[in-house]
Structure 1
């Protein structure tokens, strides 16, 4: 990886164009290879250029011509591998998240959210997360100079997400951050009408793979005890994590469809997902979520991977949890040659370029569900 190029997504000149379509009827363009004079890598850059095979190019040849934006500026090549685990999860959250955040069973890596925000938005843009948990997307967005709003179903995590936004505010961040409490499947009755057609980006992740989450403790005479590995009350059927897999997919499709009116034309939705195993069988959740996006009317534009392992010079250094390592060990003892999953899939969709008509927006705003009573007590926000 010593010769790899590290684009800097924080600089406007380095903003990338959309990558290879994963499900489109248009023929994707070839991606440029590494330039003859590579830019020296920076240790804090999250993106590493990895050439991708291009459909319709069986010879594997890449165009040497640089991609150019409409204004004539040279664009960095799109990347498909995000090196988002160069530092540990604890180091990424240190100082930005309250201690209570640790207990959440499925936290997104801050570097993953930050990478997506840097690539698909500009300062001042609105970023949403309909299943925001401890508010990782929101915190990273406001620290990057964006506005942010999220929805969370479980009251405890609503409080934690709001506390994390307050922490950002105390650190000098003055950008708006808001958390709403409710079921994201009812998103039209939770977000205020002024957000319609405004969001540049959604960053979110569905609940998945409970065996991959949690904390451990060792007590004398009791062995290893697992805790903080469940999504709230397991009897609460309103929580997507507690319903059957097919109903989870149906509910997530409904959430994606509900987000469309709130996104601006061409706005992006970045979804992080990882497969998991049940009884040694791999559950291909990324492909299922791709189908959800298509059913919701979204246009898929990229399929990337966000590393959960540190990229060293010649290999990957895993950061698997105790439960992941224990599961792999037991499966190998049973004769199944499994390996630690070292990345999350990132599916990137966008909305159509044609916007909702002003008449349609006014109709949505006049819906009876928009009432001050429905929003009271939900907005805690930290804003100017």
Structure 2
């Protein structure tokens, strides 16, 4: 229903890792301004791009998978056809392109980076590979690339749905993501829950995708009851320098000076006036 209401093209629903349109729309409204550039460095089928264009923002997405590139382009075209007048682009490239000279024109221009923690399919020749750790490593690199692109006052938002490790234990995603953001020069602003289950009185009605339902059924059969996911976790970060200045202003502390170690300005202080 959300995909239909957002005007997404048929096929978008096959992207199981997508950010739900309602979550994307709320994050864009809360953490960006009209006319801002919204970047999704791993955009999948493009639900973030559609929501950004519909909200009067420019949209820019990257994806290294041809199937998602085609769908994301189709969703950008659909949004433009429906009346969105801002610019929307999708590049056939992976997030690491943001660390190259090709992305130099984006430095300091992005109002919001909004992306999902995406899990790549486990390759048959790497049975020992932990897909959760791989996804976290990719997210850490994306945070490092994206920090320099944010304008002053911009936000980096990452949406993570619950994940289980190969031994079926629930993975702690927030701790490593917050640590990676801090290392990249970002500071935590908010930690939110986006409820994906329905509410009937005091009871939650899960709307988990079919793969999650099948995994839960297999776990029950094996004697390890597994709950279905009912939420996405949303972590919101700002530039460390912006957050420190805001905290200092709120507490009446004089504006801090930029710290230097061996004549090098620390990450997160690059935009000090």
Bin of the TM-score, shorter chain as denominator length: 0.7 to 0.9
Q: Is the 8 A contact 1:200 1:263 kept in 2?
A: yes
Contact 1:149-1:178 at 8 Å conserved across structures: yes
Per-residue deviation, 1:190: 7.2
Q: Is the 8 A contact 1:180 1:191 kept in 2?
A: no
Task: Count the aligned residue pairs.
Answer: 242
Gaps of 5+ in 2: 243-268
- After TM superposition, give the deviation of residue 98 of structure 1 in Å: 1.4
State the Cα RMSD in Å.
2.6
Please report how far the alpha carbon of residue 243 of structure 1 lies from its aligned counterpart in structure 2 after TM superposition. Answer: 7.7
- Give 1:247 shift: 4.4
Q: Residues 132 and 163 of structure 2 are in contact (CA less than 8 Å); yes or no, is this contact kept in structure 1?
A: no
Contact 2:3 2:13 in 1 (8 A): no
Question: Could you state the TM-score of these two structures normalised by the residue count of structure 2?
Answer: 0.79
In structure 1, distance between residues paired with 2:125 and 2:56: 36
TM-score, normalization: structure 1? 0.58
Secondary structure of the structure 1 residue equivalent to 2:85: coil
The equivalent residue for 2:167 is 279
Q: Secondary structure at the match of 2:148?
A: helix
* Aligned pair partner of 1:332 in 194, 202, 220: 220
State whether structure 2 residue 178 is matched by structure 1 residue 267.
no
5 Å matches for 1:6-45?
none
1:107, 1:236 → 2: CA distance?
26
Change in CA separation of 1:266 and 1:104 when aligned onto 2, cut-off 3 Å = same
- CA gap 1:322/1:243 in 2 versus in 1, 3 angstroms: closer
Which of 209, 218, 235 is the aligned partner of 1:347?
235
Aligned partner (choices 2, 8, 15) of residue 104 of structure 1: 15
From 164, 167, 170, give the equivalent of 2:78: 167
Greater relative contact order (CA < 8 Å, ≥ 6 in sequence): 1
Distance, in Å, in 2 between the alignment partners of 1:148 and 1:301 is 23
Structure 1 counterpart of 2:89 = 178
Q: Of the two, which has the highest radius of gyration?
A: 1
Aligned to 1:114: 25
Residues 1-384 of structure 1: pairs in structure 2 closer than 5 A: 91-94=1-4, 96-189=7-100, 192-208=103-119, 230=121, 234=123, 245-277=132-164, 278-351=166-239, 352-353=241-242, 356=271
> More displaced, 346-355 or 111-120?
346-355
- Residue 286 (structure 1) shift: 2.9
Instruction: Identify which range, 322-331 or 168-177, moves more after superposition.
Output: 322-331
Asked if structure 1 preserves the Cα contact closer than 8 Å seen for 2:34 and 2:56, the reply is: yes
CA contact (8 A) 1:261 1:356 kept: no
Q: What is the distance in 1 between the residues matched to 2:211 and 2:66?
A: 27
